[in-house]
Amino acid sequence: MIRIIGAAALAATLLSAALTPARAASEDDFKTAYAAADAAEKQAGALRNQWTTTEAALAAARKAAEAGNFDQAAAQAKEAEALARASIFQATSEKEAWKALEIK
């Protein structure tokens, strides 16, 4: 009986989560996401390996925020952070990997 009640409670929770619309991003959400992206891009800059696409995503995030579209602004900022982190990974792995391309 307890198992049945537990299963029903879980099903109700999942149904409720599925039916509840996703919360719109707030200005604070954007600011948090942007700060993380900006910090990662600064790290890529210190490694002398920024990507134009990261810069474009950061600019798009700022533009969307200025227009009050914080959903899009937060999404663009998260995209920028992912790109910046990829560029950091690239710069870090290339510290040794470049040697594989060298003509010898």
Partner 1 sequence: MSARALFSSVLTALGLAALVSAMPPAQAADTPDPAADAKAFRDYFVKKFPKVKLDDFVNGPYSMNEDMRRQWEEKEQFPPYEFALEAGKEMFATPFKNGRSYADCFANGGIGIRQNYPMFDAKEGKVVTLELALNRCREANGEKPYSYVKDEMASLTAYMAFTSRGKPFDIKIPDDPRALEAYQEGKRYFYTRRGQLNFSCATCHVQSPGERIRAETLAPALGILNAMPIYRSEWSGMGTISRRFTTCNSQIRGVPLEPQSDEYRNLEYYLSYVSNGLPISGPGARP
Q: Is residue 72 helix, strand or coil?
A: helix
Binding mask 22-61 for partner 1 (x = CB under 8 A): --------------------------xxxxxx-x------
Structure tokens at 76: 């663009």
By rule CB under 8 A, what count of residues binds partner 1?
Answer: 20
One residue of 61, 83, 84, 88 binding partner 1 per CB under 8 A: 83
Structure tokens at 72: 């899009």
Min dist. Cβ of residue 83 to partner 1 (A): 7
Q: How long a stretch of residues is the chain?
A: 104
Q: Which of 60, 73, 71, 75 is nearest to 23 (CA)?
A: 71
- Applying CB under 8 A, the span of 2-10, 16-24, 67-75, 80-88 interacting with partner 1 comes to 80-88
Min dist. Cβ of residue 85 to partner 1 (A): 12
Cβ proximity of 63 and 93 under 8 Å: no
**Greatest extent of the chain over all pairs of C-alpha atoms, in Å:** 73
Q: Which residues bind partner 1 (CB under 8 A)?
A: 48-53, 55, 83, 86-87, 90-91, 94, 97-99, 101-104
